[in-house]
Structure 1
């Protein structure tokens, strides 16, 4: 389809050249004379030019107007008006340049020789106007063929435009939805982090100032980097490391967290803020004030496959009335964004067990996601 669009001008030129020249190639040799070319040739070329003009009027105006307004009556009237103009000019030219065909030589009659030429067409007059029945039939057939061809092309172009518009609307809808999902992540993330800093402030911890500095780094990343469609995987992991460091400030001796990564993390870009909701939930539900708590977060890149793993202990589940309204909103957003950005290229396993909660996210990274921000 793109190849046809690229060379459509040449296709039009070649098509019309064949349309105009083909009848001349069918002439028998004895017809080629100056008088025939002057009579038949001029009238034929003028008729073809009229049909070409009608073709583009139909292609660019009549059929597109019908497709937009769905007014069949106006479309039919336009076709009849165009046919009347073509027929009137054709009759005028026929009377100004009457055909002057020579008689076939002996031996070139019906059934003899390769070609048959009937001789001069019979002249019919209606109201003093010369009418050639054969030529009139040819004009009607040619007009119908050209009109049908122009309408089919116009229908095809209209269908392509509608499809492109629908695809553009879909892309814009997806972009708007992704932007909204990111906006939903940011308040949820900020709310949880501010709660942590408030907890440090109540404890009058010396780490409060450091926590505020770390929070500023997290916000800077969210504002200036995470608004891009893709970010370097290294920067995303640095963002996770800052968040883990912020959470570690309030851990008790019986609570611990491990955060490791391996593989070629400097060679790929990734959709931002995909992992942070799982890490948030691990800290939110995986820590207990009295019982030992171990949170394990790992990420690896092997070839084009990225695997993210998060595991935390599960303690007594809160009652439904105690669950905050925003609980789980981050994970729901991640699931939607994965479906939009990595369709058929991801698997997400969320496995709640009796005493453990495990998340395994696998992404198939494409070569076009190789990072352009290498340091």
Structure 2
């Protein structure tokens, strides 16, 4: 906001300097006293312009109309006095004084009162527009932070219980599980604060999530992950796919065979395709995808609308035995990314 005000200040200085030069150039041919006349004209213009400008700043709104109009009347009738005083012209008759008063009022004061009003209205419009955009941006950022924070806490509690069991049994998988949880939490708390991250880093986060979920299953990985394309060059908003994967686990049958959940990620030119397919569980085991309290797909839709308006498609396919979500994001551009310093070290 201060930057916008400084721009307006520079515009005022430049325009008044240009106007003063034009007045001096015009009046330089009017006689030996043209400097005094030019000073009188410019001073009267400044008085009328910034008097109106200040009044509109000091008395805005309908509640201040009476005070504004009273002071505006005083401004209108006092402004020509500056012209008469600074001009220092010897008038032969009172009629000459009255004529010059009226001429300066009509030709100088009234036009610059209008220009002062126009300048104040224009600045208010620009400042209000910028302020509105800033508030909308802050609201969007706040909503995005809220949506990003809605990661299912039950997953964290279950993971901690599973790790506790592994540690108690002195299982070889316990250290890896601890490091996966540390990597996952570090990404959620620190690295996800960036506007975008490399797709490869987002996929590493999903792999950590899948590794921790795999603690519930003794067989081979229940998720078949297929990735193609340059995932380092492609940048996406962080934590964008976790709800889709979480839903796949949540709404699948209680017992998953190896490869039952299929995740495909494809990067082609500036388009990213992310699809998740899972077997549909029984109604008792799998509550409705968008039922009361659900934050999966509604959360994804809100974030996509905020982050990629008119740049994405989200398709849902339910065959009765499988449920598939296909997300496509178009127009992705490579962006620089610097990983934050880690507080946890391997």
Deviations 1:169-195 (A, max 9, x none): 111111111112222226354245446
2:89 alignment counterpart: 97
Q: Does 1:282 align with 2:248?
A: yes
1:14 alignment counterpart: 18
1:114 alignment counterpart: none
CA distance in 2, matches of 1:206, 1:372: 35
2:123 alignment counterpart: 157
Q: Does 1:171 align with 2:129?
A: no
1:237 alignment counterpart: 203
2:32 alignment counterpart: 37
Contact 1:352 1:358 in 2 (8 A): yes
- Aligned partner of residue 80 in structure 1, secondary structure: helix
Q: Does 1:370 align with 2:335?
A: yes
Deviations 1:51-81 (A, max 9, x none): 223322332x112223367512222222222
Q: Does 1:180 align with 2:146?
A: yes
Residue of 97, 100, 113 corresponding to 1:147? 113
Any gaps of 5 or more consecutive residues in structure 1?
Answer: 26-31, 100-122
CA distance in 1, matches of 2:27, 2:198: 66
| RMSD across aligned positions (CA) | 3.5
Contact 1:267 1:371 in 2 (8 A): no
1:88 alignment counterpart: 81
1:56 alignment counterpart: 50
Deviations 1:84-132 (A, max 9, x none): 33333444456x4226xxxxxxxxxxxxxxxxxxxxxxx5427xxx624
- Aligned partner of residue 164 in structure 1, secondary structure: helix
Tell which deviates more after alignment, 206-215 or 353-362. Answer: 206-215
Deviations 1:194-250 (A, max 9, x none): 466578789996545543332222112212212332222211111111122222333
Contact 1:255 1:294 in 2 (8 A): no
Contact 1:229 1:271 in 2 (8 A): yes
Contact 1:188 1:330 in 2 (8 A): no
| Matched positions, count | 333
- Aligned partner of residue 149 in structure 2, secondary structure: helix
CA gap of 1:14–1:254, structure 2 versus 1, over 3 A, is closer
1:351 alignment counterpart: 317
Contact 2:234 2:267 in 1 (8 A): no
Tell which deviates more after alignment, 300-309 or 289-298. Answer: 289-298
CA distance in 2, matches of 1:204, 1:361: 41
Residue of 232, 237, 240 corresponding to 1:266? 232
1:115 alignment counterpart: none
CA distance in 2, matches of 1:45, 1:184: 66
Any gaps of 5 or more consecutive residues in structure 2?
Answer: 340-346
* Structure 1 residues 190-339: aligned runs within 5 Å: 190-191=156-157, 193-194=159-160, 197=163, 207-251=173-217, 253=219, 256-289=222-255, 294-318=260-284, 328-339=294-305
Contact 1:55 1:146 in 2 (8 A): yes
- Aligned partner of residue 264 in structure 1, secondary structure: coil
1:65 alignment counterpart: 58
2:72 alignment counterpart: 79
Contact 1:260 1:299 in 2 (8 A): yes
Contact 1:200 1:250 in 2 (8 A): no
TM-score by length of 1: 0.76
Contact 2:279 2:321 in 1 (8 A): yes
2:344 alignment counterpart: none
- Aligned partner of residue 185 in structure 1, secondary structure: coil
1:8 Cα deviation after fit: 5.0
